[in-house]
């Protein structure tokens, strides 16, 4: 049946002399008003949530954001139809237009709602708020009392005129009937008022001449008889109507106008000039149209142009701005971010009969000509937030005018953002998605063909299908057509941007929304929340339907939903069952998933099965499987360790664009596993993986910048990358960022931020963060000192096997901080940490042996230990050896120490091997033999003892027990440094600085000194300070040099005191202060430094920074001479 519309007119004198005014009434008590708005938002959001529970689709922004848009901007999206739809028994829509009070509105409308109309057996419905949904106009036209033409002006001040009439006209179908009732007006005035409405609707309608098929009736009707009135006067296309229209036009021009909000000022003067120029150009175009007899909207050209530019609100004449020529066969839309590429891609498509809203050369639309004007320059100086309303409005009207007036093809060229791999997501953040697709779906009333052309060569078929699926779904949900799925044809294809012309003739893949692949792809988009609001339940339903139709990819995706517990109850068995079904159908992703399940820790773990499934997937070219299989070969899990095979697999995965392959390959170059060690290549690969969003790679990249490995050292860049990694949830990034804030490296020192980040990483189980947090509590940094909290954190980390936390905890038991003093517990913890290779713990344990505290109580007497040692207890043997070495609890006996150390060493104890090596080196308890010592240190180093590596490096360095070999020494120092040995870092740094055993590399030297300095090594601080002072390996920075010398001097390093004195003397990095220089030289001289004595002697002689004292000067210089004589 045809549409039926009833408009009730009740005239009033209100506002006749005021002209047009804002529709928004003056608000009294804005606080109360705001409360009501917030309540309305909550109610609408609640209705949205109810829709969600019924599995209705909600727009991408979610219920809260959507409710905000509805109340604040009147922007209804997908689910809004359920808010404004009429009940099925309603046969007509009633519109209300007037300025009277609500009571009068209800008095007039109530009978029309309850009693059947004369031309219908059913009632109408009233929706008092404006609705812009297509085909759902819903307010009434009314006024209260009046005489003559003055009252016609009220029509132009009502919601009806501004919104409902426009929506009605734009979405009207043939067969629409409009009844206009007037409660008090003579027939001539009724004709004029009805003609105004008819003219306005006709100008807004895309139906052009077909609009005459609509039937408009008007008549008078007392308020008390509204339920029974039938308007009998018909507006007919006749000479009389034309005269009425001219009269209406005069009345409209006299009374009407377009209210516009005040335009916000642009952020820059150049932008404001461009906006003003565009406004003037559009107004000029409007005036030219008016001179040629074309209709112009009631507000006039200036007001309309301002609305177009500021609000994106196109009215009647805008169709001339966005209209395409008759020769154009199809619409061409662009979704992307690069203007230059847009021109490159769209030009050939335009040449093939396509129409584009804007182009910099040979524009297709009148608006494009204006935008290319030199004064406008496409608004390039304006930020997006300023021009967004304009571009949204232009795009919306451009597409709407095409779709409502023609039934042609639409080509959508899909561009890409900085990351080509994310092309499928960019469409959901462009004008195309926000405006054009919506207009296309809502304006298209018949057959429509949409072709998506993907210009990124990296887009796979599945990615293109996924992007098409979500674009189709979005359009279907927005469209008023119930048969949208069957009436529209959607196609897609990939086409290199350089071959777009030839691509036009290629066969496109047709998108079938009912196919199992389409369901799987759409499910994937719902799972990720790309283009649609994330909905795990919806994703599971789509995956299940697709899997039931035999789609192996859907089985894989559904399996992961069960594995993660998203949208379904977590069920590992069900996940494995689905992966196996997919794998049986030859799906490599399912094979990879099975490999991942078996590789992970858990009850299903089987490295052998993991390797088998990953190999099958890798043989089918699945890059992710190659990367994970490569890890198994590198670790020797499920397969025999093979670095070459691992490298080959990671290289293949990386070449296929797999981010994990790039990351793993970079790590192999860094460690020199399966390939020659190459820091530059490691950096390059980590950079590639980081650019693709891999959090581990971003963290590694930050560390490379921090240490200056493969790239110039840069603390600030390291901080930036650690922030990015932490933002992606990487716990190591959080920890490292906390360390940077703690030390003030690359960022201003901030203990509070460090504490927060340590806490955050610790909450995720990061052990080193627990230690850092415990340290801050023990020292009261950024938080009130709390030894008990520190103990709690150290205990937690120690329970996870961390040697440093065991050492700190042992120290707290030793001194009774936060716990009751307990030497036995302290020694036990030091022993555990020492067994794990912690150098500091070994030193503390030696101190306790020397003091005889805790050790005897912990290990028992020698007799008990010997009983324990007889069955082969290595710890007992080691402890007995140490007790005899130091004479703790027993009489000191080197021979006995050698005996027990040898027994433990024969059973593979690395610490015993090293201690026995020391005894051979010193000739204690055995004949001195550096060769035997060398062999024992070699065995201990091979067993992973860091101290042995360092000591062995020294033997190669000086040729003790082996031929001198500085390259081999450097290799051993590097191994020990990788395990965190500070002395080894310092030694290796010296070798890189001097080119001794390695190629000279100041940057690596600086990186090693920096790491050792951060761990408290004073010599490294001093050497790094010299490098900053000289600008070698780092950018020259005398202030940084000064700070490092200061730290080293505070740590008691004599040469740093001397260097610091020189900086105060010369004013390098600090204000010149000879008194301070003298003080530092005196400190160094007290430690016997000859250079400092000489400098200080000269200062006493000259009275420089100190009071002149020739006797003191002579005394110091004599000491210097005596020391030089001793050297000679």
Q: What is the 3-state secondary structure (H, E, C) of 749-772?
A: CCHHHHHHHHHHHHHCCCHHHHHH
Question: What is d(CA 446, CA 402) in angstroms, rounded to the nearest whole number?
Answer: 12
Select from 193, 274, 247 the least CA-distant residue to 7.
Answer: 193
Residue 216 neighbours by CB distance under 10 Å: 23
Question: Based on the number of CB atoms within 10 Å of its own CB, is 118 exposed (0-12), middle (13-18) or buried (19 or more)?
Answer: exposed
325 phi and psi angles, rounded to 5 deg: -65, 155
Better pLDDT: 295 or 13: 295
Q: What is the dihedral of CA 1087, 1092, 1098, 1100, to 10 degrees?
A: -40
Spatial neighbors of 868 by CB under 8 A, at least 6 apart, are 860, 876
DSSP state of 11: B
Helix (H) or strand (E) holding 597: helix 588-599
Question: What is d(CA 776, CA 787) in angstroms, rounded to the nearest whole number?
Answer: 10
β 233-235/215-220 pair status: antiparallel
Q: How confident is the model at residue 406 (pLDDT cuts 50, 70, 90)?
A: low
Residue 304 and residue 286 in contact, taking contact as beta carbons nearer than 8 Å: yes
Question: What is d(CA 524, CA 538) in angstroms, rounded to the nearest whole number?
Answer: 10
Select from 717, 731, 797, 806 the least CA-distant residue to 761.
Answer: 731
Q: What's the token pair of residue 806?
A: 């065991």
Better pLDDT: 412 or 847: 412
Better pLDDT: 232 or 825: 825
- Residue 995 Ramachandran class (φ > 0 left, ψ -120 to 50 alpha, else beta): left
The pLDDT of residue 2: 40
The pLDDT of residue 887: 76
449 phi and psi angles, rounded to 5 deg: -115, 125
The pLDDT of residue 593: 93
The pLDDT of residue 119: 28
3-class SS of residue 802: coil
SS3 content of the chain, % helix, strand, coil (to 5): 65, 5, 30
**pLDDT tens column, 1027-1074:** 998 899 888 898 898 989 989 888 888 888 999 899 888 888 888 899
Beta bridge partners of 490: 450, 511
Question: What is d(CA 5, CA 97) in angstroms, rounded to the nearest whole number?
Answer: 13
What mean pLDDT comes out for the span 962-967?
90
What is the torsional sign of CA 78, 82, 85, 90? positive
β 233-235/177-182 pair status: unpaired
Question: What is d(CA 613, CA 73) in angstroms, rounded to the nearest whole number?
Answer: 54
Q: Can you say how many angstroms the Cα of residue 731 is from the centroid of all Cα atoms in its chain?
A: 16
The pLDDT of residue 568: 93
DSSP state of 418: S
Helix (H) or strand (E) holding 985: helix 982-994
- Check pLDDT > 50 for residue 526: yes
Q: Which of 177-181, 258-262, 914-918, 934-938 has the lowest mean pLDDT?
A: 258-262
3-class SS of residue 671: helix
- What's the CATH number of domain 693-770, 3.40.50.300, 1.25.40.10, 3.30.110.70, 1.10.3720.10? 1.25.40.10
DSSP state of 124: E
- Check pLDDT > 60 for residue 150: no
In degrees, rounded to 5, the angle at the alpha carbon of residue 463 between the alpha carbons of residues 461 and 469 is 100
DSSP state of 160: I
Helix (H) or strand (E) holding 93: strand 92-97
Residue 1034 and residue 1009 in contact, taking contact as beta carbons nearer than 8 Å: no
What mean pLDDT comes out for the span 851-855?
59
The pLDDT of residue 134: 31
Residue 554 and residue 589 in contact, taking contact as beta carbons nearer than 8 Å: no
Which string of DSSP letters, residue by residue, matches 906-974? HTT-HHHHHHHHHHHHHTSSS---HHHHHHHHHHHHHTT-HHHHHHHHHHHHHTSSS---HHHHHHHHH
Better pLDDT: 830 or 107: 830
- Is the overall model pTM greater than 0.75, yes or no? no
Question: Based on the number of CB atoms within 10 Å of its own CB, is 632 exposed (0-12), middle (13-18) or buried (19 or more)?
Answer: buried
What is the torsional sign of CA 295, 298, 302, 307? negative
Q: What's the token pair of residue 551?
A: 């789609």
For the domain made up of 586-678, the CATH class stated in words is: mainly alpha
The pLDDT of residue 148: 30
Residue 1120 and residue 1095 in contact, taking contact as beta carbons nearer than 8 Å: no
Beta bridge partners of 219: 181
Angle separating helix axes 966-978 and 946-958, nearest 10 degrees: 160
Question: What is d(CA 206, CA 165) in angstroms, rounded to the nearest whole number?
Answer: 13
**pLDDT tens column, 761-791:** 999 999 999 999 998 898 888 888 889 999 9
Question: How many helices, marked H, and strands, marked E, lie in the chain?
Answer: 55, 12
Better pLDDT: 747 or 104: 747
- Check pLDDT > 90 for residue 685: yes
The pLDDT of residue 160: 63
CATH architecture observed for domain 860-944: Alpha Horseshoe (1.25)
- Check pLDDT > 90 for residue 561: yes
What mean pLDDT comes out for the span 362-372?
89
Residue with tokens 């009707």: 221
1061 phi and psi angles, rounded to 5 deg: -60, -40
Residue 692 and residue 708 in contact, taking contact as beta carbons nearer than 8 Å: no
**pLDDT tens column, 600-653:** 866 678 899 999 999 999 999 999 999 999 999 999 999 999 999 999 999 999
Question: What is d(CA 23, CA 163) in angstroms, rounded to the nearest whole number?
Answer: 11
Q: Decide if 514-572 and 693-770 have a common fold.
A: yes
Question: What is d(CA 744, CA 299) in angstroms, rounded to the nearest whole number?
Answer: 62
The pLDDT of residue 361: 80
Q: What is the 3-state secondary structure (H, E, C) of 808-852?
A: HHHHHHHHCCCCCCCHHHHHHHHHHHHHCCCHHHHHHHHHHHHHC
% of the chain beyond a pLDDT of 90: 27
What mean pLDDT comes out for the span 395-409?
76
CATH architecture observed for domain 786-858: Alpha Horseshoe (1.25)
Q: What is the 3-state secondary structure (H, E, C) of 1053-1082?
A: CHHHHHHHHHHHHHCCCCCCCHHHHHHHHH
Q: How confident is the model at residue 560 (pLDDT cuts 50, 70, 90)?
A: very high
Residue with tokens 């938002």: 41
Q: What average pLDDT does the structure give for the chain?
A: 79
Q: What is the dihedral of CA 1090, 1091, 1092, 1094, to 10 degrees?
A: 90
Q: What's the token pair of residue 321?
A: 């701005």
Beta bridge partners of 410: 331, 450
What mean pLDDT comes out for the span 836-853?
67
3-class SS of residue 75: coil
Select from 553, 552, 414 the least CA-distant residue to 471.
Answer: 414
Q: What's the token pair of residue 391?
A: 């571009």
**pLDDT tens column, 314-347:** 666 677 788 887 778 788 888 766 666 677 777 7
Q: Domain-by-domain residue ranges, the chain?
A: 4-21+32-255, 314-512, 514-572, 586-678, 693-770, 786-858, 860-944
Question: What is d(CA 297, CA 767) in angstroms, rounded to the nearest whole number?
Answer: 70
Angle separating helix axes 839-851 and 874-886, nearest 10 degrees: 60
- Check pLDDT > 50 for residue 259: no
What mean pLDDT comes out for the span 41-62?
72
Strand order in the sheet with 509-511: 354-355, 330-335, 409-414, 448-454, 488-494, 509-511
What mean pLDDT comes out for the span 444-455?
79
- Check pLDDT > 60 for residue 201: yes
- Check pLDDT > 90 for residue 792: yes
Residue 155 and residue 144 in contact, taking contact as beta carbons nearer than 8 Å: no
Angle separating helix axes 607-619 and 623-635, nearest 10 degrees: 140
Q: Please count the residues of the chain.
A: 1128
Q: Can you say how many angstroms the Cα of residue 198 is from the centroid of all Cα atoms in its chain?
A: 52
User: 514-572, superfamily in CATH?
Assistant: Tetratricopeptide repeat domain (1.25.40.10)
Q: How confident is the model at residue 154 (pLDDT cuts 50, 70, 90)?
A: low
What mean pLDDT comes out for the span 108-113?
54
Beta bridge partners of 452: 412, 492
Residue 856 and residue 823 in contact, taking contact as beta carbons nearer than 8 Å: no
3-class SS of residue 453: strand
């Amino acid at each position: 049946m045809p549409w039926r519309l009833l408009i009730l007119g009740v005239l009033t004198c209100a506002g006749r002399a005021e002209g047009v005014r804002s529709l928004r009434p003056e608000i009294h008590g804005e606080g109360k008003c705001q409360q009501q708005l917030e309540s309305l938002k909550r109610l609408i959001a609640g209705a949205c949530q109810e829709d969600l529970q019924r599995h209705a689709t909600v727009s991408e922004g979610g219920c809260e954001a959507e409710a905000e848009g509805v109340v604040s901007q009147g922007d209804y999206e997908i689910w809004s139809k359920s808010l404004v739809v009429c009940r099925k028994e309603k046969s007509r829509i009633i519109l209300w237009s007037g300025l009277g009070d609500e009571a009068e509105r209800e008095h007039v409308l109530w009978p029309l709602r309850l009693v059947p109309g004369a031309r219908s057996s059913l009632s109408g419905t009233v929706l008092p708020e404006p609705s812009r949904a297509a085909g759902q106009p819903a307010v009434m036209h009314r006024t209260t009392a009046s005489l003559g033409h003055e009252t016609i002006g009220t029509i132009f001040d009502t919601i009806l005129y501004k919104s409902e009439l426009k929506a009605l006209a734009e979405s009207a179908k043939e067969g629409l009937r409009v009844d206009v009732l007037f409660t008090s007006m003579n027939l001539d005035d009724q004709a004029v008022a009805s003609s105004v409405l008819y003219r306005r609707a006709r100008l807004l309608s895309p139906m052009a001449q077909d609009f005459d098929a609509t039937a408009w009736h008007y008549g008078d009707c007392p308020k008390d008889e509204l339920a029974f009135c039938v308007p009998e006067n018909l507006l007919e296309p006749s000479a009389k109507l034309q005269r009425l229209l001219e009269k209406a036009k005069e009345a409209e021009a006299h009374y009407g106008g377009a209210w516009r909000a005040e335009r916000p000022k642009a952020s820059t003067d150049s932008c404001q000039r461009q906006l003003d120029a565009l406004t003037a150009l559009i107004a000029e175009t409007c005036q030219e149209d008016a001179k040629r007899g074309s209709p112009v909207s009631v507000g006039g050209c200036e007001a309309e142009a301002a609305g177009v530019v500021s609000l994106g609100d196109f009215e009647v004449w805008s169709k001339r701005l966005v209209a395409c020529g008759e020769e154009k066969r199809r619409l061409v839309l662009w979704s992307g971010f690069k203007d230059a590429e847009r021109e490159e891609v769209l030009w050939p498509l335009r040449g093939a009969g396509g129409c584009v809203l804007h182009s910099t050369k040979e524009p297709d639309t009148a608006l494009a000509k204006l935008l290319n004007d030199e004064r406008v320059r496409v608004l390039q100086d304006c930020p997006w937030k300023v021009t967004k309303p304009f571009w949204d409005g232009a795009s919306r009207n451009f597409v709407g005018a095409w779709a409502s007036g023609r039934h042609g093809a639409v080509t959508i060229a899909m561009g890409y953002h900085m990351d080509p791999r994310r092309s499928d997501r960019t469409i959901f953040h462009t004008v195309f998605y926000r405006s054009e697709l919506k207009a296309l779906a809502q304006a298209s009333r018949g057959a429509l063909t949409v072709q998506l052309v993907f210009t990124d060569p990296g887009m796979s078929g599945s990615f293109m299908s996924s992007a098409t699926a979500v674009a189709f779904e979005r359009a279907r949900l927005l469209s008023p057509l119930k048969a949208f799925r069957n009436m529209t044809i959607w196609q897609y294809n990939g086409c290199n941007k350089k071959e777009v012309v030839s691509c036009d003739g290629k066969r496109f893949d047709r998108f079938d929304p009912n196919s199992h692949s389409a369901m799987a792809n759409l499910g994937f988009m719902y799972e990720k929340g790309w283009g649609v609001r994330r909905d795990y339940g919806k994703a599971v339903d789509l995956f299940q339907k697709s899997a039931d139709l035999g789609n192996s990819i859907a089985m894989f995706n559904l399996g992961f939903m069960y594995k993660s517990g998203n949208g379904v109850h977590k069920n590992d068995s069900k996940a494995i069952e689905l992966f196996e079904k997919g794998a049986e159908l030859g799906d490599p992703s399912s094979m990879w998933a099975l490999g991942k399940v078996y590789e992970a820790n858990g009850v299903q773990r089987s490295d052998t099965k993991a390797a088998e499934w990953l190999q099958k997937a890798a043989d089918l070219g699945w890059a992710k499987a190659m990367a994970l299989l490569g890890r198994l070969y590198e670790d020797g899990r499920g397969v025999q360790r093979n670095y070459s095979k691992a490298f080959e697999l990671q290289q293949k995965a990386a070449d296929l664009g797999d981010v994990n392959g790039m990351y793993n390959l970079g790590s192999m170059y860094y460690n020199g596993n399966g390939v020659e060690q190459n820091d530059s290549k490691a950096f390059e690969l980590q950079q590639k993986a980081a650019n693709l969003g891999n959090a581990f790679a971003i963290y590694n990249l930050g560390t490379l910048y921090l240490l200056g490995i493969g790239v110039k050292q840069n603390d600030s860049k390291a901080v930036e990358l650690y922030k990015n990694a932490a933002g992606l949830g990487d716990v190591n990034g959080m920890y490292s960022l906390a360390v940077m804030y703690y030390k003030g490296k690359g960022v201003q020192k901030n203990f509070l931020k460090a504490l927060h980040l340590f806490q955050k990483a610790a909450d995720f189980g990061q052990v080193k963060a627990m230690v850092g947090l415990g340290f801050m509590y023990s020292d009261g940094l950024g938080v009130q000192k709390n030894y008990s909290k520190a103990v709690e954190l150290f205990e937690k980390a120690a329970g996870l096997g961390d040697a440093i936390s065991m050492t700190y905890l042992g120290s707290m038991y030793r001194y009774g901080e936060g716990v009751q003093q307990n030497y036995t517990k302290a020694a036990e913890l030091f022993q555990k940490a020492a067994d794990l290779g912690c150098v500091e713990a070994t030193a503390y344990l030696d101190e306790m042996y020397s003091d005889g505290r805790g050790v005897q109580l912990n290990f028992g007497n020698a007799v008990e230990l010997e009983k324990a040692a007889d069955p082969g207890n290595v710890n007992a043997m080691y402890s007995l050896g140490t007790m005899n070495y130091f004479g703790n609890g027993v009489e000191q006996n080197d021979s006995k120490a050698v005996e027990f150390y040898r027994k433990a060493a024969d059973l593979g104890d690395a610490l015993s091997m090293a201690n026995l090596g020391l005894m051979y080196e010193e000739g204690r308890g055995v004949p001195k033999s550096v060769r035997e010592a060398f062999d024992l240190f070699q065995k201990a180093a091979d067993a992973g003892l860091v101290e042995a590596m360092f000591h062995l490096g020294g033997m190669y360095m000086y040729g003790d027990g082996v031929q001198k070999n500085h390259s081999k020494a450097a290799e051993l120092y590097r191994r020990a440094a990788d395990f965190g040995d500070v002395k080894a870092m310092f030694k290796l740094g010296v070798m890189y600085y001097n080119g001794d055993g390695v190629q000279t590399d100041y940057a690596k030297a600086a990186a090693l000194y920096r790491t050792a300095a951060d761990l408290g090594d004073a010599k490294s601080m001093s050497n790094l300070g010299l490098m900053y002072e000289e600008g070698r390996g780092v950018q020259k920075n005398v202030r940084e040099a000064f700070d490092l010398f200061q730290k080293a001097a505070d740590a008691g390093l004599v040469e740093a005191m001397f260097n610091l004195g020189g900086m105060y003397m010369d004013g390098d990095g600090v204000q010149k202060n000879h008194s301070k220089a003298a003080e530092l030289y005196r400190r160094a001289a007290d430690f016997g430094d000859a250079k400092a004595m000489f400098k200080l002697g000269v200062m006493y002689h000259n009275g420089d920074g100190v009071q002149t004292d020739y006797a003191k000067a002579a005394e110091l210089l004599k000491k210097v001479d005596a020391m030089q004589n001793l050297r000679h």
